Structure 1
Amino acid sequence: MNVMCPVCNSFQALQAACRHCGGRMEDAGKLSDYYGDYSPYRPIDDAKRTNGLPDLAQHLCVHVAWCPSCRREQRVAVREVTDVELYALEQGG
């Protein structure tokens, strides 16, 4: 089954509230992009196999989000979608 992150592919904006102040979080990219100099160039599933998180098995894309109000960061898991689900998102459903 092919899945993709709707946030990484700009089909949807990251929607998360700060656990500290309740402010709107901003997307700072995939967590795996922060692993090292060449990590953004690694195959996505390869990075997921070695990060110690259940994201590969659960079809999640873990993003780093930061709050501009209180300047805190947190991880946000985004559910990856299939092409059928993506089509439904594009149709507004």
Structure 2
Amino acid sequence: MTICYLCNGMEELNKHCPACENIMMDAGKAVDYHGDYAPYIEAEDAKLIDGIADSSNKKQCIHLAVCSICNYDEEIVVQERM
């Protein structure tokens, strides 16, 4: 079984904003922002619904990174590990 270290608080996001170089914040799983009921769907099922089934096969978790200074955001791929 693999887990996402960001989701489980075992790692912190370490990414700089490409627009202003500020440290970006982890805003959680990107799939949670894709609809009203998205946070209530099982993670693996959400990956299939969201069209990112390939990320499920590769054991990846897609997170939203947000800059608190300039509001730039982007989805980042986090490799799940044991």
Please state which band the TM-score falls in when normalised by the shorter chain: 0.7 to 0.9
1: CA distance between counterparts of 2:9 and 2:79? Answer: 14
C-alpha RMSD of the superposition:
1.2
Rounded to whole Å, the distance in 2 between the matches of 1:42 and 1:56 is 14
AA aligned to 2:15 is A
Letter of the 1:63 counterpart? H
Q: Is the 8 A contact 1:31 1:62 kept in 2?
A: yes
- What number of residue pairs does the alignment pair up? 81
* 1:20 equivalent in structure 2: 19
Write the distance in 2 (CA, Å) between the matches of 1:57 and 1:27: 23
**% identity of equivalent residues:** 36
Aligned partners of 1:20, 1:11: CA distance in 2, in Å? 27
Higher radius of gyration, 1 or 2: 1
TM-score (norm 2): 0.88
Displacement of 1:55 in angstroms is: 1.2
**Which runs of 5 or more residues in structure 1 are unaligned?**
83-93
Match of 1:39 in 2: 38
* Matched position secondary structure for 1:18: coil
Q: Which ranges in structure 2 are unaligned for 5 or more consecutive residues?
A: none
Instruction: For 1:1-93, list aligned pairs within 5 A.
Output: 2-53=1-52, 54-82=54-82
TM-score of the pair, normalised by structure 1 = 0.79
